[in-house]
Amino acid sequence: MSDANTPRRPGPWDPKPEETARAPETVKAPARSPGAAPASGPLASTSAHPVVQGQSPAWAIISTLLLGGLIYLWMRSFEIVAAVLFGVLVHEVGHMLAMNRLGMGPARIFIVPFFGGAAVGQRPAASEWHGVLVALAGPAFGLLAAAPFMALYAVTDQPIWLLCVIAIAFINLINLLPAPMLDGSRAIGPVLAKIHPLVEKAVLLVIGVLAILWGVSTGSYLFALFLAIAVFSYLKRDGWRPDTRPLSWGEAGKSTGLYLLSILGCLAVGLVAVLPGVDTLAAAAGQGAGLLGISR
């Protein structure tokens, strides 16, 4: 129970004082003739940024079923379908929690048919450092989704649960690629731009093209199509450098360290899932390469 007359402490997603002060200058009500009735419809946002509406439950269910159906056609396993869907959800919850903590919320989670998920905040990051933290929160938090499947393997000794763990580690590792639209581009891109903007553009485009070729070679055509659209959009918009405070050199160093730790975390979780079925680390590395399609 709460008292409506008691002042509430502002939350991280409440309008900032400076936004409230300039709201009358940036948001204007539409003009209407004297005596006319007020316009119907949703109220305008009190900040300079439009309000992000959440995904309807019906569309979220349809999107999830479409994504799950695609995964089943690819993997032919209901267990892996459940693992990937759960992994995508936990991954996006990581982004959402970071956005809310850093004043970008309340964030919304969307399930994108055939492609995965997305977390969207109500306002942009206050700095590139905050953007890096939000980008890495998804893969770092997403690895927690592997825990229940490791527990199921410990109880049942069924290899399918290890494949579920590998799938979760894989989707988080892929998201760390420094290619347009993936989390890796938002995590390490600002560091590369700190060196020189052309370095960021060159790395993102080269990795993006290589990832497209990898997707085609392994039969992941939708993944390749998604990246192709992202690379085309990146070229068309001449990059996605946000209009916000850039990284300091100290933040660039921390960003690089956190990015590398996130990659190592994904590899470690995948390795833990591979080891029970092999005798040596070399065999584990070979099996991991095969799962990634490198040896194909």
Give the pLDDT of residue 242.
Answer: 73
pLDDT less than 70: residues of the chain: 1-50, 240, 277-296
Distance CA 95, CA 110 (A): 12
Give the pLDDT of residue 212.
Answer: 95
Return the residue matching tokens 């700095």.
Answer: 127
Burial level of 162, CB count in 10 A (0-12/13-18/19+)? buried
Return the residue matching tokens 């405070």.
Answer: 245
Give the pLDDT of residue 52.
Answer: 79
Distance CA 46, CA 19 (A): 8
The beta-strand segments (E) located in 82-156 are 108-112, 116-120
Return the residue matching tokens 């479409």.
Answer: 66
Give the pLDDT of residue 121.
Answer: 93
